[in-house]
Amino acid sequence: MSKEPVIEAIELTKTYNGLKAVDKLNLRIEEGEIFGFLGPNGSGKTTSILMMLGLTEPTSGTARVCGYNSTREPLKVKNLAGYIPENVGFYDDLTTGYNLAYMARLSDIPEGVIKQRIEEVLDTVGLKGMAYRKVGEFSRGMRQRLAIADVLMRMPKVAFLDEPTAGIDPRGIRQTLDLIARIAKENKMTIIMSSHQLAQVQRICTHVGIMQKGKMVVQGLISQLGREFLGGGRFKIEVRLAGVAAAILEAIKQVKGVVKVDRPEENLLVISSRDDVRSQIAKVIVDNNGLLEQMNVVSYALEDIYMKYSVED
C-alpha cells in the first residue's frame, strides 16, 4: 500500500430509479497500468467511468483520481485526465485543427504550442495533413483516431477511454491499440479502457476487470487470471493417447512442474503445468510404453475467461 493508486473507487454505487447500474465497485489502478474494463452491454462500465470523471454524481461511495475526489474536486481531476466518450463527437462544420485547438485552449495549453502540437498528434494517429479538413467529412474510424489525437494534445496522466476502437476496421484496431499502448508506456500514462475487443484487450492490457450487472466479478493481472483459468499452472497441455494406463498417469504427475492432471475423456489428458514440459511428458509416455497420438499446448484466451465470468441468467 505504499504507492497511491492513480484511479481508486471505493464502494462506488450509482442507482437509476431503483436499478443499480453500478453496485459497490472497488477498484485500484496504479501508475502505468493499462486496465481493460470488460463486461456485457449495460453492465455499468460507462456509468463507472462517468463517476470517476465527475461527469455524474455517485449515489454513494467515492471515486478518486490521483488522490482528488471526482465529485468534490472535478476540475483537478479533469486537469489530469483525458477522456474519449462512448459516442465521441466533434464540431462537424469546423476543421480538425480548430476542433483540437478549441479543447486545447480550454485546458489551458499555451497558444504558442497548440499549432505545433496539432501537427504532431495528427501525425501520430495517422491523420497527417488533415488539419484543415472539416470533421464532417470524416469516416467513423477517422473520428475515432481524431478522438485519440484530442487526448494526446494534453498528454494527460490518466486516460479514460470508453470503447476507443468502436467502428474501426481490424487493422485499424490493432494500430490504434498498439499506439495507445506505446504512448502509455513512453509517458507512464495510466489507462482505463472499456472494450468488447477481447483479443485486443488481452494483447495490450496489463490488468482486466469484468463487470456483470454493476458488480466487478473478477479483476486482476491478466496473466494471473489466465493462470487461474488454466488451473493453477501457466501452461495447459493436451495429450491424446491410444490408451491410458495408470502407470502413465502416475508418471506424468511426477514430472517436475506439473500442477494438475485431468482426464476429461477416456484417452485425453489435460495437464496443467508451470513450464512447457512437453518433451518430458513425451519421454515419460514412451518410457511407459504408451502410444502418443497428439500433444499440444493450449493457450488460454481472454474470451474463455470472459465467457466463464459473464454468465447470462
Ligand X SMILES: Nc1ncnc2c1ncn2[C@@H]1O[C@H](COP(=O)(O)OP(=O)(O)OP(=O)(O)O)[C@@H](O)[C@H]1O
Among 4, 57, 123, 250, binds another protein (CB under 8 A): 57
The residue (of 277 and 305) whose beta carbon lies closer to ligand X is 305
Name the helix (H) or strand (E) containing 61. strand 60-65
Task: Report the nearest approach of another protein to the CB of residue 54 (Å).
Answer: 9
Residue the block writes with cell 472494450 = 195
Are 261 and 269 in contact by the 8 Å Cβ rule? The answer is yes
The residue (of 46 and 212) whose beta carbon lies closer to Mg ion is 46
Task: Report the nearest approach of Mg ion to the CB of residue 160 (Å).
Answer: 12
Among 37, 68, 90, 138, binds another protein (CB under 8 A): 90
Q: Decide: helix, strand or coil at residue 307.
A: helix
- Pairwise CA distance, residues 248 & 244, whole Å: 7
The residue (of 39 and 290) whose beta carbon lies closer to ligand X is 39
Q: Decide: helix, strand or coil at residue 156.
A: coil
Residues that bind ligand X (CB under 6 A): 16, 21, 39, 41-47, 86
The type of residue at 161 is L
The reply to whether 144 sits near Mg ion by the rule CB under 5 A is no
Site size for another protein (CB under 8 A): 28
Rg of the chain in Å (alpha carbons): 24
Residue the block writes with cell 481490424 = 170
Nearest residue to 22 (alpha-carbon basis) of 53, 40, 38, 45: 45
Site size for Mg ion (CB under 5 A): 3
The reply to whether 46 sits near Mg ion by the rule CB under 5 A is yes
The reply to whether 291 sits near another protein by the rule CB under 8 A is no
- Which residue is closest to Mg ion by CB? 46
Question: Which of Mg ion, ligand X, another protein, none is residue 43 near (CB under 5 to 8 Å by kind)?
Answer: ligand X
The residue (of 156 and 290) whose beta carbon lies closer to another protein is 156
Angle ∠(77,80,82) on CA atoms, nearest 5 = 100
- Pairwise CA distance, residues 23 & 38, whole Å: 15
Are 200 and 36 in contact by the 8 Å Cβ rule? The answer is no
Task: Report the nearest approach of Mg ion to the CB of residue 45 (Å).
Answer: 5
Task: Report the nearest approach of another protein to the CB of residue 11 (Å).
Answer: 20
Strand partners, 260: 272
Task: Report the nearest approach of Mg ion to the CB of residue 39 (Å).
Answer: 9
The type of residue at 125 is V
Q: What is the footprint of another protein within residues 134-193 (CB under 8 A)?
A: 150
Interhelix angle 246-254/278-287, rounded to 10 degrees, is 140
Binding site for Mg ion (CB under 5 A): 45-46, 86
Positions touching another protein (CB under 8 A) are 46, 50, 53, 55-57, 75-76, 78-79, 81-83, 85-92, 102-103, 105-108, 150
